[in-house]
Amino acid sequence: MKPKRKFSESHKEKISIALKKYRTGKTYEELYGKENGEKIAKAHSDKLKNRKRPEFSKEWKENMSKSRKNSKVYQEWMNSFEYKEKRRAINAMRFYGITLEDWYNMADDKRLYYLKVRSITKSQNLKELENYDKRGNSKNNGYHLDHKYPISLGYLNKIPPEQIGHIDNLKFIPWRENIMKSNKLI
């Protein structure tokens, strides 16, 4: 074990002065003058540019990404109403330059109804449904999520979005059948 280095009083004083200089938030030019400040700033910048940060392995990145996305807390947050409202507010500002309230006032009733139904549908535990594991598209002869009572009819008949998006109104059916069904009630 190395013995601790002992500093003289004058050395301790110089260290405290140097530390105070760095913690002031002043630029190098303010601390050391124009000529010396530029040299020190350039040297510091060059040192930082040439620094290589340790690389994370591809495997580590994939594992971290998977574990985070598979975590229950993450999935609950992504399906929460608060998160969706936050994303809508960001998108309203990004695409239209307006607040979420203004966007809601601007959007027509039908669009809002569809958004609410889809939000409620996504918040359901779809894994409970039969044929969930066959979910996919036409390329793999997959199954689509179907609303037994269609969203469009729910809007026309003024059925609350909570009922249309509820898990009791959902099922997985073959993709071709879902496309042929369209908005018909079977």
Tens digits of residue pLDDT in 72-129:
888 888 888 888 889 889 988 887 788 888 888 877 788 889 989 998 998 999 999 9
Cα distance between residue 184 and residue 149, in whole Å = 8
Is the same domain home to 141 and 92?
no
Confidence of residue 2 (pLDDT cuts 50, 70, 90): low
Give the range of the structural domain holding residue 163, as residue numbers without chain letter. Answer: 127-186
C-alpha 178 chain-centroid distance: 31
Angle, CA 32 vertex, CA 28 and CA 35 arms, to 5°: 90
Burial category of 66 from C-beta neighbours within 10 Å (exposed 0-12, middle 13-18, buried 19 and up): exposed
- The pLDDT score that the predictor gives to residue 65 is 65
Measure the CA–CA gap between 21 and 16, rounded to whole angstroms. Answer: 9
The count of domains in the chain is: 2
CA-to-CA distance for 132 and 124, rounded, in angstroms? Answer: 13
Give percent of the chain above pLDDT 90. Answer: 23
pLDDT of residue 24: 60
Backbone angles phi, psi at 108, to 5 degrees: -80, 165
Q: Indicate whether 180 and 133 sit together in one domain.
A: yes
Q: Are residues 69 and 99 in the same domain?
A: yes
Summarised one tens digit per residue, pLDDT across range 45-63 is 777 676 666 677 777 667 6
* Within-domain flag for 85: yes
Q: Is residue 146 part of a domain?
A: yes
Last residue of a domain, one of 107, 138, 166: 107
pLDDT at 185: 81
